[in-house]
Amino acid sequence: MAIDVGDAVPDFTLSDDGGEPVSIRDLRGRPALLFFYPKAMTPGCTVEACDFRDRHESLIAAGYQVLGVSPDPPHRNLRFREKEHLSFPLLSDEDHRLASTLGAWGMKHQYGKEYEGIIRSTFLVGPDGRLERAWRNVQAQGHVRRVAEDLGL
């Protein structure tokens, strides 16, 4: 069962696109936007990541950290980050533990088939490590604009 707004995000440590560990403790003190995307270098994920890239300066100016999260291994995330000139780290949640905890992993349907996978979602983790907002099961196109509007940017 996914945690709810107001709950503490459990401790986690994931590898970033350079293979370095990033934990919830590293994010404390500033609000962090974690956006979950299904697969690096696919059309929808590229649209969403590039939208976050294009708004990154305004998000940073408002005090937010931005991190992308996917089940991709670090080397694939690194290629994605370099190819699209992404200005924020991409984290690898290969065992889906963090995605499951936040409700970004579950059953999906595509072309008449059912399978488990990343449910495109974004989460705002407060400076104290508590979940402040959740945008679950979103569309890539226009999502970042909505997040920015919801944050008053």
Phi and psi (nearest 5°) for 2? -75, 150
The domain tally of the chain equals: 1
> Which pairs count as long-range contacts for 143-146, CB under 8 Å and 24+ apart, including other chains?
143/48, 143/51, 144/48, 144/51, 144/52, 144/54, 144/55, 145/51
> Could you read off the pLDDT of 34-69 as tens digits, one per residue?
999 999 999 999 999 999 999 999 999 999 999 999
Residue 5 lies in a domain: no
What's the domain range around 138?
30-150
Determine, yes or no, domain membership for 109. yes
pLDDT score of 121:
96
pTM over 0.75: yes
Question: Which residues are catalytically annotated?
Answer: 45
Look at residue 36 and tell me if it is in a domain.
Answer: yes
Residue 22 maps to a domain: no
**How confident is the model over 78-98, as a mean pLDDT?**
96
Which is nearest to 151 in space by CA: 71, 61, 54, 28?
Answer: 61
Q: Is residue 21 part of a domain?
A: no
